[in-house]
């Protein structure tokens, strides 16, 4: 083993080893206090329950900075349910353009075709980058993932979307909401969940519609939609009660109080600007470590398209296929087992269809100090795997990190 790979065992653990990309870590200071249990066993249709649901909608919109003209509602199925609801209720009148940058963007492209929602033009690229955005048709609808937790990729900006467009823009913001500023002038349907950046419970999502999207909803798409996904009443009118907090399915009232606790924390921190700043600080910790560490590198090689909250990493340099691919997976899995056994990190494996590596959540509920300690443990785990002789072939670290575009 190279001396450069030797690392002593850290003396301290992160204050919280949970770095899962969903459900994500609870906010600092979280606990189950009696007030969070007051509506358990109560109907969400009761006057108190309805008020608490409506308050979530109001507070979420304010925290995100959504205009008053937008409508917002709570949906089943987390952010996935919200995105599927947007696709099924809004797509159809015109063709749609999709941008394949991560696993979920592929899911949405597949759903559009499988359900025959609209004629589709797909924009693709190499894994770990964002597709070229030139040449879009402003008369078409657009479906875009604003932060890909599987690939660690996000669009660098939304300036390529015209403000005077005819088509609608449906944005999967499941992990982008509260981690980056979103130009809502360039979006018409925004979808996110409770369990990502705010650390809420799983199973609940949000959908917000601009006035243009509301116009499409009122006009209808001339296609049946399952009850669980439907934003219309049986007579074809828009389900306005839904946007007032009358959910389509029964929500967990504990989850409702839990997300109010998260919103209390977010507001006390200083709102959206403070949350985005926390993410930037977290990214800086990880970026400094990657730059200084020869054996690790970004899965997303393009810095402009790299997520600041979904830290996706691979062993460096990337070995070719064949047996070395298996060796790389063995190294990563061995490191993860070591870290879990030591209580240093939980749930940091890469996404199922991503290359072997690490996926570390660095959203606003995660502390920068914990990430710094995690980096020390990653160094130690890699050193342990080297000592164990797991690598069938020696991995030679490059003398410097290749910049994006170098070969």
Report which of residues 128 and 388 the model is more confident about.
128
State pLDDT tens for residues 50-107.
999 999 999 999 999 999 999 999 999 999 999 999 999 999 999 999 999 999 999 9
pLDDT for 5 equals: 60
Q: 349-370 as b/e, with b when 16 or more CB fall inside 10 Å? A: bbbeebbbbbbbbbbbbbbbeb
The residue written with tokens 């609870």 in the block is 26
Token output for 155: 């669009």
As a whole number, mean pLDDT of residues 244-258 equals 96
Please give the order of strands across the beta sheet that includes 358-361: 296-298, 310-315, 358-361
Stronger pLDDT, 248 or 3, i.e. the higher one: 248
What's the CA gap between 277 and 280, in Å, rounded? 5
What's the confidence (pLDDT) of residue 327? Answer: 85
Q: Is 123 helix (H, G, I), strand (E, B) or coil?
A: strand
| Average pLDDT value for residue range 178-198 | 98
- Domains belonging to the chain, first-starting first, are 3-25+271-387 (3.90.1150.10), 34-269 (3.40.640.10)
d(CA 45, CA 47): 6
CA distances from 179 to 274, 276, 290, 363 (A): 10, 5, 21, 6
SS3 75: strand
Beta strands 310-315 and 358-361 are antiparallel
Other CB atoms within 10 Å distance of the CB of residue 297 = 21
Q: Is the pLDDT of residue 1 over 60?
A: no
Is 136 in contact with 160 (CB distance < 8 Å)?
yes
- Looking at the chain, the whole-number percentage of residues with pLDDT higher than 70 is 93
Q: What region does 295 belong to: left with phi over 0, alpha with psi -120 to 50, or beta?
A: alpha
> Across 77-195, where does the E strand assignment appear?
96-99, 120-123, 141-145, 169-172, 189-193
**How much is the mean pLDDT over the chain?**
92
Q: Would you say residue 29 has pLDDT above 90?
A: yes
Q: Encoding tokens for residue 42? A: 């109560």
Q: Quote the radius of gyration of the chain (alpha carbons, Å).
A: 22
What's residue 252's pLDDT? 96
pLDDT tens digits, residue range 345-377? 999 999 987 888 999 999 999 999 999 999 999
Query: What is the mean pLDDT of the segment spanning 208-230?
Result: 93
* pLDDT for residue 46 is more than 90: yes
d(CA 161, CA 169): 8
260 touches 56 (CB < 8 A): yes
pLDDT-derived band at 33 (thresholds 50, 70, 90) equals: very high
Over residues 303-317, mean pLDDT: 95
pLDDT tens sequence across 252-282: 999 999 999 999 999 999 999 999 999 999 9
Joined tokens for residue 177: 């909401």
- Per-residue confidence (pLDDT) for residue 319, from 0 to 100: 47
Rounded percentage of the chain residues whose pLDDT exceeds 90: 85
Element (H, E) at 339: helix 323-342
pLDDT for residue 6 = 65
Q: How far apart are CA 194 and CA 56, in angstroms?
A: 10
């Amino acid at each position: 083993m190279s001396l450069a790979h030797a690392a002593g065992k850290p003396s301290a653990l992160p204050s919280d080893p949970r770095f899962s990309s969903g459900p994500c870590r609870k906010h600092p200071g979280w606990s189950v206090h009696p007030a969070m249990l007051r509506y358990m066993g109560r109907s969400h249709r009761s006057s108190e329950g309805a008020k608490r649901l409506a308050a979530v909608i109001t507070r979420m919109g304010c925290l995100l900075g959504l205009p008053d003209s937008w409508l917002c509602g709570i949906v089943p199925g987390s952010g996935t349910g919200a995105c599927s609801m947007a696709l099924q209720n809004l797509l159809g009148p015109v063709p749609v353009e999709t941008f394949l940058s991560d696993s979920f963007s592929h899911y949405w492209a597949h759903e559009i075709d499988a359900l025959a929602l609209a004629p589709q033009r797909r924009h693709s690229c190499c894994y770990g980058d964002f597709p070229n955005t030139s040449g879009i048709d402003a008369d078409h609808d657009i479906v875009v993932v604003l932060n890909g937790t599987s690939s660690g990729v996000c669009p660098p900006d939304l300036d390529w979307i015209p403000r005077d467009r005819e088509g609608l823009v449906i944005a999967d913001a499941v992990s982008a909401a509260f981690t980056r500023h979103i130009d809502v002038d360039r979006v018409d349907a925004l979808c996110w969940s409770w369990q990502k950046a705010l650390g809420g419970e799983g199973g609940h999502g949000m959908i917000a519609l601009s006035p243009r999207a509301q116009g499409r909803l009122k006009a209808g798409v001339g296609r049946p939609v399952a009850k669980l996904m439907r934003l219309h009443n049986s007579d074809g009118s828009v389900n306005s009660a839904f946007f007032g907090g009358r959910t389509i399915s029964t929500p967990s009232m504990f989850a409702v109080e839990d997300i109010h606790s998260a919103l209390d924390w977010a507001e006390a921190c200083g709102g959206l600007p403070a949350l985005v700043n926390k993410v930037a600080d977290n990214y800086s910790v990880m970026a400094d470590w990657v730059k200084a560490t020869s054996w690790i590198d970004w899965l997303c090689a393009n810095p402009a398209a790299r997520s600041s909250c979904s830290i996706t990493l691979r062993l460096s340099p990337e070995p070719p296929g064949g047996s070395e691919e298996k060796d790389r997976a063995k190294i990563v899995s061995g490191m993860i087992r070591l870290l879990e056994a030591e209580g240093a990190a939980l749930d940091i494996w890469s996404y199922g269809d991503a290359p072997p590596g690490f996926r570390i959540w660095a959203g606003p509920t995660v502390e920068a100090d914990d990430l710094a300690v995690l980096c020390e443990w990653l160094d130690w785990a890699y050193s342990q795997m080297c000592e164990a002789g797991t690598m069938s072939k020696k991995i030679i670290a490059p003398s410097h990190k290749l910049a994006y575009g170098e070969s």
